[in-house]
Structure 1
Amino acid sequence: MDDQPSHFQKTLIKQYPARTAAETAESRYWRRFRAPDVSQQVGAVTSIDFSPLYPYNYAVTSSTRVIIFDARNRHPLTTLSRFKDKAYSGTFRSDGRLLVAGGETGHVQVFDPQKQTLLRQLRGHQRPVHTTRFAPDKMHVLSGSDDATVRWWDITAGEQLFRLDGHTDYIRSSACSPSSPDTWATGSYDHTCKVWDVRSQQCTMTLEHGAPVEATAFLPGGSLLATAGGTEIRIWNLLAGGQLLARMANHQKTVTSLCSANSAGPAATSAPRLLSGSLDGHVKVYELDSFKVTHATKYPGPILSVAISPNAALLAVGLADGHLYVRRHTHNKGAVPGLPGAPTKVRTPFQRRLTAANYRYFMRGGNEKAAPGDVRVQPPDQKKLAPYDQMLRRFEYRAALDAALKTEQVEVVANVLEELAARSGLGAALGGRDAQQLVPLLAHLQKHIVDPRHANLFIGILNRVLDAYGPALGVSEDVDMKIRQVREQVKLEAKLQSTLLRLQGSLEPILAVALAARMPAVEE
């Protein structure tokens, strides 16, 4: 017989639709954040803020302290513990030299993180202060409190310049527009987000969110504002007078945190993203063209805070149980050109000239794809047969079935069985087996006999096996055990199908009545 397999047609393996969607470039980008560094804080991590200055250290607010971590090794650098009760909203100034935080006592405190000294203690709020932010001019601080007031402070003089009234419930979030340093947004439990002009000390816009507002964030450019409350995130167009652009209800529980990533995604520096954290334990990433979720990550507890570094190299997530998760991206490193602390010149890596002395010279073009109009030259047809195809070619049907079973791929076994049936070789393949050869076949049938794609085929095979080896039952304990397991699997599937049929019969009248009630009455 000719040893060349060119005249033999390989067994065609059926292709079924993928059970899961193909991974996108966006998913691959976010999956490149490495396994997290996990640290346990003394209390719930209510706030995380990255310094705008390279190396982008981050401040973590937990219980009665604010801890500043080194972004390069994730080790704590400084601990600020000058709080009599819980601390809230520790945030950096735009130059990274000062830090401001609120607290349960109602005081707003300004620190020098490097010297660990308290520079200012601003008093005026009557209730806890949950949000504090430095103004872009570095000389002023905005704070929002549970006393429903927003206050504007001069840190040089250490006194309050004015206060903004308008909210009627707790104020829990604030944000400054990146395009206008005089435009601020504050979110409150009165279900509104108010936009303020600190020059006129007036509220210029009130946005009705419809639920207690937990977080606010301006999107890059400053024309769009995101608010989070309840299970929804809403996007507002401020240039159009507060027009509602999108409502995103992708979380199952309250959304607690929002942050904007200016240079994240597969097309870095040109594809900003919005990140949200929720009490359902998910961090979700939204692209800002159609406001769709592009990636989601699950954490083992309710999330209170989410932040990403300016260079999108570190992603920090704080949980209600005190765990802090910090992930580092495998590619995004170093300073971002144009941000404070970044080098003025970007050093380009050295590239070796490609010549015939390099191995890559002879491999060039191997990854190129043909254009639609290119002429394709097909390579010589060199078929490499699988072991089961080699056995089928030599008409060794029992060995072909054994080789297919060794692959443990249900599609391969099913197609080999169909090929054997077409050749009238099932009797030779199934017969004459001892206990050691029969057990793998029975194990495969037990595992896949309830698969709806192959159930008809495998039930027929099982019937033939029982007809052939029924008189020999009781000889091998292993074979008897496999037969019992197959029987239990079939009984369980039959019971499940019976339950589903009864459930379907119960639901059909209910669905019919509901459908009839929704149909409009026909006018005679």
Structure 2
Amino acid sequence: MVDQPGQFQKTVIKQYPARTLNETAESRYWRRFRAPTVAQQVGAVTCIDFSPLYPYNYAVTASTRVIIYDAHTRKPITTLSRFKDKAYSGTFRIDGKLLVAGGENGFVQVFDPKSQTLLRQLKGHERPVHTTRFSPSKMHVLSGSDDATVRWWDVTAGEQVFRLEGHTDYVRSSACSPSLPDTWATGSYDHTCRLWDIRTQECTMTLDHGAPVEATVFLPGGSLLATAGGTEIRIWSMLAGGRLLARLANHQKTVTSLAVALAAGPTAASSPRLISGSLDAHVKVYELDAFKVTHVSKYPAPVMSVAISPNAALLAVGMADGQLSVRKHSHNKGPAGGGPAKAKKVWKPTSTAASYRYFVRGTTEKPSKDDIKISQPGMRRLAPYDHMLRHFQYRAALDAAVATEQVEVVANLLEELAARSGLSAALGGRDAQGLLPLLTHLVKHLSDPRHSDLFIGIANRILDIYAPALGVSEEVDAKMRLLRERVTLEAKLQASLVQLQGTLDPILHAALNQQPQTEG
């Protein structure tokens, strides 16, 4: 609507960018993992593994036992405690009927989770066994130990079939390719991840991670392999002969665990996600197209293990202080893990001549770009500060703006008063009761970077005007001293930031000239 000649122009309140990023559908999806159930364990939770079959019960390895929890109630149903020392890497077989775990004493033990029976005790490792996995064939187990060896066991016979040598330090992680059941990857503290062909018992590929490898996982399809060590996650292409595709350096401390969510995302057709846990107490989610972080969660202690159920309904995180946090998604999924539950139908009232809606229909419709809009002048409602500003009541207008407690309104009104040469009239001639609200507002918002320059100038002007009147009111004197301290502190802070900017400029300029982290 075009204003008529001589009509008062309302104060325009500037719109500033939001301080936080807009929430995306991906972020909303991961934030729906709510209602955490926290179970305190007797030691650090070093491994969490979900059963591949519904109802997706999960095994938690902590201290000297492996505890199996019910996925529905999130309460323990079985405790496997046949360990003389610490237990490691309690993982299910592909059918969920057996569980294998390593131990500090070097034994590899196979259990029946239902009866808690120890079925096999495989002896051969000379040092602690930190990683154990069942083969897809169900009859064999692969284990990795601190004795730098990888061993292949026949569960039926209870004997070692062969051993794989090549690592020169502790072997701490292992994974089987989802597309090639005879291809296994093992990660070691010798900074390498080795790929083994079980048929030929040979190492087919060696990947140099550059730091002790803590976790290894194949991404869906088996064409990509992710390794975690130090503060980095590296993505390798198996089809390109182990070529490095990406370095993900999003954590501040050692990345301790990796997990793959197969059916996660805001839509049923969402691609899988990679999840990482770190000693910096953060769990991060990555999309697998550009390997960008889509969600970050903060936990109260360093994260040692992370896992997600096959239907993406439960997210479990184990911490160094023994806490086990299990969060359930608000839109639970069925056994197949196909997609989120169908949205409930929302009832909409029908519009008839018997309802008020019938007579006001169409009033909320917005015109299209081809429509011709005819504006009709109407009554203009002015805010209290605009009404007083219109009548040149500058002091009252400023008081009305301060009363709104909206920093944008006060800042824009002060700029309008400066443009009208009305700052002296608005700030001067005040008594103690009229000066206190303005001083309180300035003290509160002086450090706001969007308005600090303006408010510092106003504060200096007030100090100049009312300096001769100091000592009349104790409350005003206290606010004046606090305001002077805030102005001095803000001025020093801005000077330090300018100096810091001068120091960082050459560093940033040099960093921009370097090659990017992601390799093509």
TM-score, length-normalised on structure 2?
0.86
Aligned equivalents of 1:108, 1:402: Cα separation in 2: 77
Of 248-257 and 460-469, more deviation after overlay is shown by: 460-469
- C-alpha spacing 1:366/1:84, structure 2 compared with 1 (3 Å): farther
Deviation at 1:282, TM superposition (A): 1.8
* Structure 2, unaligned runs of 5 or more: 514-520
Alignment of 1:124-203 (within 5 A): 124-203=124-203
Aligned equivalents of 2:466, 2:211: Cα separation in 1: 69
* Structure 1, unaligned runs of 5 or more: 519-524
Deviation at 1:12, TM superposition (A): 0.8
Q: Which residue of 1 aligns with 2:350?
A: 356
State yes or no: 1:93 paired with 2:93.
Answer: yes
Identity in percent: 73
Alignment of 1:245-394 (within 5 A): 245-337=245-337, 351=345, 356=350, 375=371, 385-394=382-391
Contact 1:34 1:327 in 2 (8 A): yes
- C-alpha spacing 1:14/1:500, structure 2 compared with 1 (3 Å): closer
Aligned equivalents of 1:472, 1:209: Cα separation in 2: 70
- State the secondary structure of the residue aligned to 2:441: helix
Of 459-468 and 9-18, more deviation after overlay is shown by: 459-468
Aligned equivalents of 2:36, 2:501: Cα separation in 1: 45
Q: Which residue of 1 aligns with 2:77?
A: 77
Deviation at 1:61, TM superposition (A): 0.3
Alignment of 1:44-123 (within 5 A): 44-123=44-123
Aligned equivalents of 2:220, 2:381: Cα separation in 1: 55
Deviation at 1:378, TM superposition (A): 8.3
Aligned equivalents of 2:312, 2:429: Cα separation in 1: 65
Contact 2:237 2:243 in 1 (8 A): yes
Aligned equivalents of 2:193, 2:377: Cα separation in 1: 67
Alignment of 1:474-485 (within 5 A): 474-485=471-482
Aligned equivalents of 2:233, 2:260: Cα separation in 1: 13
Runs of 4+ aligned residues of structure 1 deviating over 6 Å after TM superposition are 346-350, 352-355, 361-371, 378-382, 500-505
Q: Which residue of 2 aligns with 1:521?
A: none
Deviation at 1:298, TM superposition (A): 2.2
- State the secondary structure of the residue aligned to 1:485: helix
Deviation at 1:216, TM superposition (A): 0.5
Deviation at 1:502, TM superposition (A): 7.5
Contact 1:262 1:269 in 2 (8 A): no
- C-alpha spacing 1:114/1:8, structure 2 compared with 1 (3 Å): farther
- C-alpha spacing 1:368/1:297, structure 2 compared with 1 (3 Å): farther
Aligned equivalents of 1:116, 1:369: Cα separation in 2: 67
Deviation at 1:335, TM superposition (A): 2.3
Q: Which amino acid aligns with 1:491?
A: T
Q: Which residue of 1 aligns with 2:490?
A: 493
Render the CA deviation track for 1:298-337: whole Å, top value 9, x for unaligned: 2232221111111112111111121112222222433234
- C-alpha spacing 1:354/1:474, structure 2 compared with 1 (3 Å): closer
Q: Which amino acid aligns with 2:128?
A: P
- C-alpha spacing 1:70/1:7, structure 2 compared with 1 (3 Å): farther
Aligned equivalents of 2:346, 2:408: Cα separation in 1: 48
Aligned equivalents of 1:235, 1:290: Cα separation in 2: 11
- C-alpha spacing 1:270/1:387, structure 2 compared with 1 (3 Å): same
Aligned equivalents of 2:275, 2:32: Cα separation in 1: 16
- What is the RMSD computed on CA atoms of the aligned residues? 3.5
Deviation at 1:449, TM superposition (A): 4.0
Q: Which residue of 2 aligns with 1:522?
A: none
- C-alpha spacing 1:73/1:481, structure 2 compared with 1 (3 Å): same
Of 179-188 and 28-37, more deviation after overlay is shown by: 28-37
Deviation at 1:64, TM superposition (A): 0.1
Of 11-20 and 38-47, more deviation after overlay is shown by: 11-20
Render the CA deviation track for 1:244-294: whole Å, top value 9, x for unaligned: 111222222221111111112223443211111112222121111111222
- State the secondary structure of the residue aligned to 1:244: strand
Alignment of 1:425-504 (within 5 A): 425-449=422-446, 451=448, 453-466=450-463, 468-496=465-493
Contact 1:107 1:129 in 2 (8 A): yes
State yes or no: 1:22 paired with 2:22.
Answer: yes
Q: Which amino acid aligns with 1:479?
A: V
Deviation at 1:456, TM superposition (A): 4.8
Aligned equivalents of 2:361, 2:128: Cα separation in 1: 64
Q: Which residue of 2 aligns with 1:239?
A: 239
Q: Which residue of 1 aligns with 2:41?
A: 41
Deviation at 1:116, TM superposition (A): 1.7
Deviation at 1:364, TM superposition (A): 11
TM-score, length-normalised on structure 1?
0.85
- State the secondary structure of the residue aligned to 2:239: helix
Deviation at 1:463, TM superposition (A): 4.7
Q: Which amino acid aligns with 2:211?
A: A
Of 377-386 and 455-464, more deviation after overlay is shown by: 377-386
- State the secondary structure of the residue aligned to 2:34: coil
- C-alpha spacing 1:180/1:365, structure 2 compared with 1 (3 Å): farther
Aligned equivalents of 2:366, 2:76: Cα separation in 1: 49
